Amino acid sequence: MTGFDQQAADAARARQDSLTKPPGSLGRLEELAVFMAGWQGRAVPRLDHAQAVVFAGNHGIVAQGVNPFPPEVTAQMVQNFRAGGAAINQLCRVAGADLSVVPLDLGHPTRDFTQDAAMDAAEVKAAMRIGAESVDPAADVLLLGEMGIGNSTIAAVQAASVFGGQAQDWVGPGTGAGSAILQNKLRAVDAGLARHRPASVAETLAAFGGREQAAICGAVLRARELRLPVILDGFICTAAAAVLTRDDPAALAHCLIGHESAEPGHRRLIAALGMQPVLSLDMRLGEGSGAAVALMVLRGAIACHEGMATFAEAGIG
């Protein structure tokens, strides 16, 4: 797989060390600038074109009572995104990201993974292809998000399948599940883990779904081919992308986790991946919202990296 440009990263680090500040004083902002330099292959990275994509899908697992909302809400929220009325629209506008929304066959939910595989191999391949084709090769950074009633249950079962543990280790309230719905989620995840024993990326996506998770995987893989840095959103988006580590432990090396979600499984997932989120703001909305806020921080990091004077330029020292 295409790799990190260490020469560009070293040049970016040398520039950071020459800027008018004590070395390391901008903390994580310095590391973010170096990360972007290495993946873009330029000592001074740029953010002229930030692309945000929200994938939407529906899930057969809602038949198990795992969500307080009906699956029709997914399509309604897609319309809200397209009308500009969602949080992600406002955050992308402020952060300077071009937003697109990609619904995946919302009228035909995946199958209930407690009863059958959620998708067959052809459905997985088709969804991954849509994800890959959604990536703009001209982008400087890619933000990924999702929408799908029931997909926090998908995230929990995918994380448990890849990293181990039981339902209680990964299941959280999602869109606000009460105690009865939470118990349904726990039962569904444990039933899914007992029924399916996938051993690869394709098998995991087929076993549990959904289409938006497969599309996220396809987009992450395409971004890697393009050496395009990615900002993942919260628990659901991270859990989807993390399935790729089943085949390649370094599959997410070009990715940042935008924020640590308030969804309880996300902290465990971040630790399992050995990654550090950009932000922790107690968000749990999904739809790419945390990734968009993280982009604002990334813009600040690159603005300092590019715009600050060196000690020599400023005549200091």
Residue 17 tokens, joined = 């060390």
For residue 157, what are the contacts with CB-CB under 8 A and spacing of at least 6? Answer: 113, 167, 170, 188, 189, 192, 193, 208
For residue 315, what are the contacts with CB-CB under 8 A and spacing of at least 6? Answer: none
- 3-state class (DSSP) for residue 257: strand
Say whether 287 is catalytic: yes
Q: How far is CA 19 from CA 8, 28, 36, 282, in A?
A: 17, 15, 18, 33
DSSP readout, 95-111?
HTEEEEEEE--TTSPPP
Torsion sign (Cα): 204, 210, 213, 218: positive
Distance CA(208)–CA(110), nearest Å, equals: 9
CB 255 within 8 A of CB 143: no
Q: Secondary structure of the chain: what % helix, strand, coil (to 5)?
A: 55, 10, 40
- Ramachandran angles phi, psi of 102, nearest 5°: -125, 100
Which one is catalytic: 123, 212, 260, 287?
Answer: 287
Residues with active-site annotation: 287
